[in-house]
Amino acid sequence: MAAAATIILTALAAIMMVLGEVGRWFRSNSYTLADGLYGPFTTAASNIYLLAMAAFGALVIGREGFRKLLLGLTVLACLATPLLTDTAHAAVAVHWFIPAVFATGSLLALIGRPARNRKLTKIVVWATPVVTVLLTLTSYLQGGGSQRTFYGHSLMPVVDALTLSRSAAEILALTTAVLLASRKLLPWVVLLSVAALSWPLGRLLIFLGGDTTTGLIGFLNPGTVSTICFLAAPLSAWAAWKRPRLEFGDGDMSALS
């Protein structure tokens, strides 16, 4: 559970930094306000994102104590963001749901050790940059002006920070539900979770493609993703019933409570 939270949290933090915080320096039609921004960044939430990414860096170099300290500071930064926004007289505000997602993810990452064995460490270390690069590089498909409305969630609601955070929160919640399910409930939880993945994955597909009708690839649209998820749900439930444990070499991450 801590490993899943680390991957989702770090990838989301990096995406937020690239698209929301420093995007105004290299994207056209960006925020044009002369003042009221948070220094070189767009909002005070940049503190949250930087701390979350630093915690991942501490995990990579094997500094467990430092990782926990940085995650604790991330939670505090989430609580302090509204105050920092008011103090800096920021012109761009961050919706309360975004720091709430990061605070929850940080607490989940704190309850365990994502790098407690070699195989699990490799999964976390490699999956995080892959997810991050995939989502950030495709941001340019959204067209000019996307960064200017990233925190506005009004003109382009399908590619804004709030929509992206909601998708990440839903995926994190579904993953946590599967990992906490008891042996008897696991197949049913997997069935519902895989089917429910159609909602956040459909939104992420539009985010990647920057088009509300075609998605990333012409034939791969949110409707197709929903069909795939609903077909995969019973197969996943059967697999969870047959093999209710996820093994990771010199230790295993059990789905049993």
- Residue 85, pLDDT above cutoff 70: yes
- Residue 254 has what pLDDT? 41
- Residue 18 has what pLDDT? 82
Distances (CA, A) of 11 to 28, 54, 124: 24, 12, 11
Residues 55-82: what's their mean pLDDT?
92
Residues 209-219: what's their mean pLDDT?
50
- Residue 143 has what pLDDT? 53
The predicted-structure confidence for 158-182, as pLDDT tens digits, reads as follows 567 888 899 899 999 999 998 888 8
Confidence of residue 216 (pLDDT cuts 50, 70, 90): very low
Cross-strand pairs, 246: 253
Whole-angstrom Cα distance, residue 63 to residue 116? 12
CB 91 within 8 A of CB 37: yes
Confidence of residue 242 (pLDDT cuts 50, 70, 90): confident
The predicted-structure confidence for 1-20, as pLDDT tens digits, reads as follows 888 899 899 989 988 888 88
Angle subtended at Cα 89 by Cα 84 and Cα 95, rounded to the nearest 5 degrees: 60
Higher pLDDT, 116 or 98: 98
- Residue 48 has what pLDDT? 96
- Residue 36, pLDDT above cutoff 80: no
Angle subtended at Cα 156 by Cα 154 and Cα 160, rounded to the nearest 5 degrees: 85
Distances (CA, A) of 1 to 72, 164, 175: 17, 21, 8
Whole-angstrom Cα distance, residue 161 to residue 149? 9
CB 89 within 8 A of CB 46: no
Give the number of other CB atoms < 10 A from CB of residue 26. Answer: 9
- Residue 255 has what pLDDT? 38
- Residue 72 has what pLDDT? 96
Nearest CA-CA partner of 10 in 44, 52, 51: 52
- Calculate the average pLDDT of the chain: 79
- Residue 153 has what pLDDT? 56
Whole-angstrom Cα distance, residue 94 to residue 153? 10
- Residue 214 has what pLDDT? 44
The pTM (predicted TM-score) of the whole model is 0.82
The predicted-structure confidence for 87-112, as pLDDT tens digits, reads as follows 767 777 888 999 999 999 999 999 88
